[in-house]
Structure 1
């Protein structure tokens, strides 16, 4: 038996073709991590993805593209166990395929892994997606003028808990900021392989979180955490989400969030997200100087 994971309406056709080619029974696992409107995935799946994958990236100040595959690896391995399958299959290619193979080797080394051409991989998520002509979030046309907009994000121990004073979950914060930052043309950037990745909400939250850390972390801790952030990002890009080192860095990043509480005003304008005057809670370290303006280029 083979369990095939993917997204979109072509999954059933791909499963039938794989069954014909291999002679094996094929079970499909449809994955939607908030990337396919109007449903946008189940509340349970999207919430888990936001809390278990997007939040660690925000706290590590990492604008990485590859956040879906670790979630798919976990779900695919669990599905294989439930169905008694010995093989799993997916539609990732290139770097995504290498990441997936490394993840499955760490989680379920006994399972055989197949990369199946033509299977739509779960790459469009609440976190971001590779930009296509029909963007899911509306970006302004070239030359279109939009008045600047401000938004306030509140964090509690490194977790975004409110947008403009209204309580939100991590998933809710990403949804709102995806719309608002995209409307200002912010959140598109080039990846290492030359593609354009759109992550407007992620850019806004990482920019706000980085600014608040600058005003709440003890200086020596802040300097070391910047090194940890870079290593965390490199590990995830290299497909080492499940590695012992990544696990240890997760623990450090989580511990460092204890004082990262307060509000950050963001200016959204002209393809940029700029942090303005982060205001830390009174419990933050009193001797830490307030940062200046921090800008992230879309």
Structure 2
């Protein structure tokens, strides 16, 4: 038996072809991490993805593209155990396939893994997605005029808990900011394979969190955490989500969040997200807004 992960009804043709080629029974696992309409996914999956994968990336100030694969690896390993399968399959290619194989080797080394061309990988998530025609998070046309918009994000111990004063979960914060930042053309960048990846809500939250850390963390702690953030992002990009070092860095990042509470005002305009001024509850120093950055005053 083989368990094949994919998104929605698009996985059915790949499953049928895999069954024909291998002669094995193929069970499909539909994975929806917030990048598609509710049919085929669940609010529980999306909330767990936001809390267990997106939040650690926000707190590590990491705008990484590959956050879905660790969640898919765990779901596939669990499904294989329930079904008694010895093989799992996915649609990731290139660097994504490397990450997936490394992750599965860490959590379920006894399972065989297959990369299946034509099986759509779970790349569209609450965190980000590859931009395609007709995306529901609309980006403006080039040169289209949009009035600047301000948004205030509130953090409590490094967790986004409100947007413009309204209480939200991490998942809801990403949903709202995905729409608002995408409308301003913010959050797009080129990936290593030349595609355009968009993470508008993630860009807003990471920008706000980084600004608030600069205002609340003790200087030596802030300096060292920047090094940890870079190493955290490198490990995730290299497929080491489940590594002992990544786990240890997670603990450090969470510990460093104790003082990261307060409000951050941001300006969304012309494809950019700018932190204007953090209004923190426990400032480590006095900070004033400058165009494009935040500067400390002695």
TM-score (norm 1): 0.95
Q: Corresponding residue for 1:219?
A: 219
**Aligned match for 2:287, one of 278, 286, 290:** 290
CA distance in 2, matches of 1:194, 1:208: 28
**C-alpha RMSD of the superposition:** 1.4
What's the CA shift for 1:277? 1.0
Structural mapping, 1:173-188, within 5 Å: 173-188=173-188
Q: Is the 8 A contact 1:275 1:294 kept in 2?
A: no
Q: Which moved more, 1:37-46 or 1:77-86?
A: 37-46
Is residue 2:147 matched to residue 1:133? Answer: no
Q: Decide whether aligned partners of structure 1 residues 180 and 51 sit closer, same or farther in structure 2, where only a CA change above 3 A counts.
A: same
Q: Decide whether aligned partners of structure 1 residues 207 and 39 sit closer, same or farther in structure 2, where only a CA change above 3 A counts.
A: farther
CA distance in 2, matches of 1:174, 1:295: 23
Could you give the per-residue CA deviations for residues 133-157 of structure 1, whole angstroms, max 9, x where no partner exists? 2223111111110110001000000
Could you give the per-residue CA deviations for residues 160-182 of structure 1, whole angstroms, max 9, x where no partner exists? 00000000000000000000001
What's the CA shift for 1:39? 4.5
Q: Decide whether aligned partners of structure 1 residues 264 and 53 sit closer, same or farther in structure 2, where only a CA change above 3 A counts.
A: same
What's the CA shift for 1:38? 5.5
Is residue 2:103 matched to residue 1:99? Answer: no
Q: Which moved more, 1:56-65 or 1:40-49?
A: 40-49
Q: Corresponding residue for 1:33?
A: 33
Q: Is the 8 A contact 2:3 2:28 kept in 1?
A: yes
Q: Is the 8 A contact 1:214 1:291 kept in 2?
A: no
Alignment coverage as a number of residue pairs: 293
Q: Is the 8 A contact 2:8 2:40 kept in 1?
A: no
CA distance in 2, matches of 1:95, 1:235: 13
Secondary structure of the equivalent of 1:9? helix
What's the CA shift for 1:196? 1.0
CA distance in 2, matches of 1:249, 1:291: 31
Could you give the per-residue CA deviations for residues 25-50 of structure 1, whole angstroms, max 9, x where no partner exists? 11110001011126583110000000
What's the CA shift for 1:73? 0.0
Q: Is the 8 A contact 1:15 1:26 kept in 2?
A: yes
Q: Decide whether aligned partners of structure 1 residues 293 and 251 sit closer, same or farther in structure 2, where only a CA change above 3 A counts.
A: farther
What's the CA shift for 1:287? 4.0
Q: Corresponding residue for 1:83?
A: 83
Q: Corresponding residue for 1:116?
A: 116
Is residue 2:264 matched to residue 1:267? Answer: no
Secondary structure of the equivalent of 2:113? strand
CA distance in 2, matches of 1:256, 1:270: 33
CA distance in 2, matches of 1:249, 1:294: 32
Could you give the per-residue CA deviations for residues 251-295 of structure 1, whole angstroms, max 9, x where no partner exists? 0000000000000001000100000110111xx2x5434264484
Structural mapping, 1:161-240, within 5 Å: 161-240=161-240
Q: Is the 8 A contact 2:216 2:284 kept in 1?
A: no
Q: Corresponding residue for 1:145?
A: 145
Secondary structure of the equivalent of 2:8? coil
Q: Is the 8 A contact 1:103 1:242 kept in 2?
A: yes
TM-score (norm 2): 0.95
Is residue 2:46 matched to residue 1:49? Answer: no
